[in-house]
Amino acid sequence: MKNKKLHGNVRDAAFSILWAVENKQAYSNLLLHQTIESYGISAKNRGLLTEITYGTLQHQMTLDYYLEPYLKGKIEPWVKTLLRMSLYQIVYLDRIPSHAVVHEAVEIAKRRGHGGVASLVNGVLRSVQRSGVRSFNTIADPIEKISIETSHPAWMIKRWAEQFGLEKTREMALENNKIPSQTVRVNTVRATVEEAIEMLESEGLEAVPSKIIPECLVVTGGQPARTATFEKGFITIQDESSMLPSYALQLEPGMKVLDMCAAPGGKSTHIAEKLNNEGILYSMDLHPHKVKLIKESADRLGHTVIETDVGDGKKSVERFGKEQFDRVLVDAPCSGLGVIKRKPDIKYTKKEEDFSRLQEIQIELLDQAAQLLKPDGILVYSTCTVDNMENRGTAERFLKEHPDMEKIQVSLPEALGIKHTGFVQVFPQDFGSDGFFIAAFRKSAVVE
């Protein structure tokens, strides 16, 4: 394939991203920002580029199912990527005329391939236009049907169905293909929610309070990260679900707190706000470049309580000593199945064998956290995934291995409407946010 990129061309840019994800296992969210710059995509076209890129990834298996009857013989992988992207626009995007999509696909095929490829692309797409796409009703197996309909691997649908039932699984998989809301957290040390709304509105964005988290705003009409309100530290970008762990910690000003897996820093800066910037918070992460992101966020928001620390959470007792902290947050490395809406590539890169390896890491981190905690201190374990092995399974195993730790009620905003038990699983469809799990434990003052 010849690589002739066309400056400013949205579809050529989208194809470049999709082919890199397919061919080099690149991350779509990182590539998107790089491609906007390298192609010089205008502000008005960035939304379309994002929609084509993420939409094609989200519906990849469905698109392959639609294309299959029209493909005769073997075709080059890059051509299939181009066909997927083009069919996504024809099937899912009403505002783009089909003839324009076909024309652009043929032009990309000519630039990157040759006349024969262009003819093939033209023929396949025009055949789909004439005859339409096939129904899912011919698929008898319910797991396979949900898998193809929602474009999630069959093993993932089967695993979720066994854990949560078919209906909840289908709801979750459909929710994962929706466009996520833009949410920001107001830096309550510097501004009230009302003041932040006024600031954003003065910059042309619309902001409304979240129905769940008091300091959260849902923002539309622009990019909050490009506003002066963001640059001056009055808001930060964060998903609603990931604001819940800071509530579960039951923080009070003056406490000594450890955020063990802190990058990129959203939860750390939220903790600092809950501490009212009084006390000390160690924000630890394994990678220096990620710790730098935490420091940059803390500086922008004006949080002097945060001490960044490069280190391995699995060796944190060696670093800090036992029984040093009033509160410890372990927002553990996980499979990330709760954030598929934001990172659709996760669906195709994760494997079922990943879960047991991840649980071992999670247990190691929790074991360290238990030792770091003062008697009567609170440990919160959270993940951005939806899987019983990593979530409930890890929490229950931790309790069995640590008789000095007891499960306690998770302290959460009342508006959440979830029963506040010792384990809370938030599903993506609950309030349109990320899938998230939270467990809270207290260390006994005396072991019996």
Measured torsion, CA atoms of residues 46, 219, 91, 121, in degrees rounded to the nearest 10: 20
Q: Has 264 been labeled as part of a binding site?
A: yes
Report how far residue 314's alpha carbon sits from residue 368's, in angstroms, rounded to the nearest whole number. Answer: 6
Report how far residue 259's alpha carbon sits from residue 309's, in angstroms, rounded to the nearest whole number. Answer: 10
Q: Has 404 been labeled as part of a binding site?
A: no
Q: Has 153 been labeled as part of a binding site?
A: no
Asked if residue 1 lies in contact with residue 76, where contact means CB atoms within 8 angstroms, the answer is: yes
CB-count exposure of residue 137 (10 Å: 0-12, 13-18, 19+): exposed
Q: Has 266 been labeled as part of a binding site?
A: yes
Cα separations in angstroms, 270 against 62, 186, 239, 340, 437: 39, 9, 12, 23, 18
Catalytic residues: 384
Note the Cα 106 to chain centre separation in Å.
34
Asked if residue 305 lies in contact with residue 357, where contact means CB atoms within 8 angstroms, the answer is: no
Q: Has 221 been labeled as part of a binding site?
A: no
Report how far residue 179's alpha carbon sits from residue 157's, in angstroms, rounded to the nearest whole number. Answer: 20
Of 384, 238, 212, 220, nearest to 297 by C-alpha is 238
Kindly give the interhelix angle for 77-92 and 43-58, rounded to the nearest 10 degrees: 110
Q: Has 312 been labeled as part of a binding site?
A: yes
Of 441, 304, 274, nearest to 373 by C-alpha is 441
Report how far residue 319's alpha carbon sits from residue 213's, in angstroms, rounded to the nearest whole number. Answer: 34
Bridge partners, residue 407, by sequence: 441
Report how far residue 155's alpha carbon sits from residue 151's, in angstroms, rounded to the nearest whole number. Answer: 12
Q: Has 261 been labeled as part of a binding site?
A: yes
Tell me how many degrees the CA angle 160-164-167 measures, rounded to the nearest 5.
Answer: 90
Annotated binding residues, written as ranges, equal: 261-267, 285, 312, 331
Annotated binding residues for S-adenosyl-L-methionine, written as ranges, equal: 261-267, 285, 312, 331
